[in-house]
Amino acid sequence: MKSLILKDLFNIGHNAKSMLFILVVFAVALIPFSDVEGYIFVCAILCSMMIVTTFSFDDNSKWTRYAMIMPVSKKELVVGKFVVLAIFCAVGSLFGLVIGSISGFAMRKITFDFAGIGELLFLALAAWVISLIFGSMSIPLVFKFGAEKGRVLLLVSFLIPAGICFGIYQLLTILGVELTDQLVFILLCCSPLPVS
């Protein structure tokens, strides 16, 4: 499995400079007008999306066929992608944390006290988890349908639930039901999400 992880890291290394550039552009565009927290999430999500790019590289070089003749099992092939995703998310969260903290401190948006640092670390961890969940949804889709179709399906798989949620929210508003924080929390606890 180490070889699979190395292969993806070497492959994506070529794109790292452009990703770095994009993240810096986002830092300049987001942090002055928004907050550091949002920037950390953006960095983590953007980096998690690179996992689909690694599939494109694999498709391009017919890697999967070659991997199957190596002493690597299909299970390792799948687990390897999740490990690479976890690395990408960690790099994104950490980058967001470091650049966000420096920029936020420079713009006096955050303070480096115990509570402030703790909150930022917690946010970076939350960004890592959420980007990991986001990326994890893409892996089975791309394995099943390939990188190109997988990308479209990934978008659809986010838009449809978002559309349904928005529709329900609108319907509840029309019916006069007000969604309070407490109600949302209760609904979240009742949903299958915490179980999974």
Binding site for another protein (CB under 8 A): 2-3, 6-7, 10-11, 13-14, 57-58, 60-63, 65-66, 68-73
Tell me the one-letter amino acid at 143.
Answer: F
Nearer to another protein, 72 or 102 (CB): 72
Q: How far is the CB of 77 from another protein (least distance, A)?
A: 12
> What Cα–Cα distance (Å) separates residue 9 from each residue in 31, 88, 121, 178?
29, 9, 25, 48
Using DSSP, state whether 118 is helix, strand or coil: helix
Q: How far is the CB of 14 from another protein (least distance, A)?
A: 4
| Helix locations, the chain, DSSP H | 2-13, 16-30, 36-48, 50-60, 63-67, 74-106, 114-174, 181-190
Q: How far is the CB of 78 from another protein (least distance, A)?
A: 16
Nearer to another protein, 12 or 123 (CB): 12
Q: How far is the CB of 125 from another protein (least distance, A)?
A: 29
Nearer to another protein, 65 or 108 (CB): 65
Nearer to another protein, 68 or 160 (CB): 68
The CA distance from 184 to 146, in Å, is 36
